[in-house]
Amino acid sequence: MQDLFEATLDPPTAERRFRRPTTLGDAFGVGTGPQAERAATLVRAFETEHDVLERYYGSWIAVAVALVREDGRERLEIACAPDVRLEQSVEELLFRAYGLYRQVDLTFEAGRDRALCLRMLYGVISGIFKELDRNAATHAEGQPVECARIEYLDAALKRAEGYFQRAAQRRAQLRYLAGVIGGLTVIAGVGCLLSLGLTQLPALQEDSGMYLVSLIAGGLGAILSVLYGMTSGNLRLHTLFANAESGPGPLVAAGALRPLLGALSGTVVYVLLQSGLVPLKVPDGAAGTHFFIAIAILAGFSERWARGVLAGTEERIQGSTPPKAQAPR
């Protein structure tokens, strides 16, 4: 009895593991053209060696596309024989789809975004091959195979491109945010250096606390700006950072520089206010302290406003400088 029970637990073979269930098209004999009969043995070998999730094999022309899983990652396998004559518009559409697939493959190593992008691309490429296969059954021999629904497939590819851009932006924004949080460490280091520098200036000992407060307030304003941009959808990173053209290092570094820039802007604006170069009336007492903190937060929050303050100060300094007297001839 024990031997009989053990005999029913044979380990699954490789062929059983990768065997694909019969589709409705197979059951009704949709893909039973001459090409399907010619390549049946090779197709069976391909499906035995690969974990095929979805596939379409041309039955009248030598085209094929398959969505397979390998080492836990999904990828596309695309084949089109050299003797298959296609219209230029169809070739361009296939080239765009394959180019987008290469970008997806390099940008997303795994995860939901990669899976959705590949399934959308599989739908576009398999739709092209289905239309070509259907038209090849009735078209005149020697003529390019037409694709009757190319406008619909082009719209589907544009939707896939749009989703890829949004997914790449989401990934880039998360990495950028990680760099922003890491930039707080940089601000702490700058604060330590600033404290050491202020110890060498006895005249500024009383204001040393405000220097550090302005530095921190400017950094917080920069972080607030990034969070506002992410929640409102206005934070758009450059394509160079979002796609596979750049690794995570430059993107994280750019994020770390954002709070540092805000911290330095807050400190510089505080110095300009204290020096009198910016003609603003500062309240006395606690209101004055809150005024400086608010100005530093604003300088870190808005880079454009901080640049405007610096540009206006430069113009006032240039305007107050008397012109040089010309030497007598």
Q: What would the pLDDT profile of 302-315 be if each residue is shown by its tens digit?
A: 888 888 888 888 88
Is the model more confident about 262 or about 203?
262
Neighbours of 233 (CB within 10 A): 8
**Cα–Cα distance between 188 and 194 in angstroms, integer?**
10
Tell me, what's the pLDDT at 238? 60
The structure tokens 């699954």 sit at 12
Tell me, what's the pLDDT at 139? 61
Is the model more confident about 102 or about 82?
102
For 138-196, write each residue's pLDDT tens digit: 665 555 555 667 888 889 999 999 999 888 888 888 888 888 888 888 787 777 777 76
Is the model more confident about 284 or about 235?
284
Contact in structure between 247 and 171 (CB atoms under 8 Å): no
Is the model more confident about 36 or about 59?
59
End-to-end CA distance of the chain: 124
Residue 233, both tokens: 């959808």
Q: Could you tell me the pLDDT band of residue 320, with boundaries at 50, 70 and 90?
A: low
DSSP string, 162-228: HHHHHHHHHHHHHHHHHHHHHHHHHHHHHHHHHHHHHTT-GGGSTTHHHHHHHHHHHHHHHHHHHHH
Tell me, what's the pLDDT at 15? 44
Query: 3-class DSSP state for residue 18?
Result: coil
The average pLDDT across 205-219 equals 79
Tell me, what's the pLDDT at 24? 43
The structure tokens 């021999």 sit at 141
Query: 3-class DSSP state for residue 9?
Result: coil
If residue 49 lies in a helix (H) or strand (E), which one and from where to where?
helix 40-49
Is the model more confident about 96 or about 204?
96
**Cα–Cα distance between 47 and 26 in angstroms, integer?**
15
The average pLDDT across 218-229 equals 86
Q: How far is CA 279 from CA 269, 272, 276, 309, 313, in A?
A: 12, 9, 6, 11, 10
The average pLDDT across 6-24 equals 46
Tell me, what's the pLDDT at 28? 38
For 59-71, write each residue's pLDDT tens digit: 777 888 888 888 8
The average pLDDT across 5-29 equals 46
